[in-house]
Amino acid sequence: MASIPEQYHDLFEKKTFAHVATLTEEETPHVTPVWIDYEADDDLLLINTERGRRKERNVDRNPAVGVSMTDPDDPYRHLSVIGEVEEVTTEGAREHIDELAERYTGESEYSNPIETERVILRIRPDEVL
């Protein structure tokens, strides 16, 4: 297991957009931009999504993911992670999306309608570039 270097922890405090790559049923890549978070105590990347979305369905079949992000203040500073979704959980997911909405939009609540339920993809980094 790899760790996110401490000098990159600030990326998770900014409006840093990440791109997450998952594999479809046909084993082709599916890449989507996402809001990203980091749980330093457990060294896990967190992606909040909705139950039934393609990335959530993909990791249910194959937990392998790639995540890349670029510092919004310096496009030459970036972080790439290859890892595996260790857990998909609904626990705290609704509160978590509100926290992300505060960081990314300045709003205290996530404004998009939730059609199913929110889930958090907890990603264990295996390789950090």
What are 26-65's pLDDT values in tens digits?
999 999 999 999 999 999 999 999 999 999 999 999 999 9
Side chain identity at 127, as an amino acid letter? E
Give the rounded percent of residues in the chain with a pLDDT score beyond 90.
91
- What does the pLDDT read at residue 115? 83
- What is the value of pTM for the model shown? 0.94
Cα angle 76-129-81, degrees, rounded to a multiple of 5: 105
Q: Is 7 helix (H, G, I), strand (E, B) or coil?
A: helix
> Is 110 within 8 Å of 44 (Cβ atoms)?
no
Closest CA to 67 of 10, 119, 11, 111: 11
- What does the pLDDT read at residue 71? 98
- CATH number (3.90.1300.10, 3.20.20.140, 1.10.10.60, 2.30.110.10) of 6-128 reads 2.30.110.10
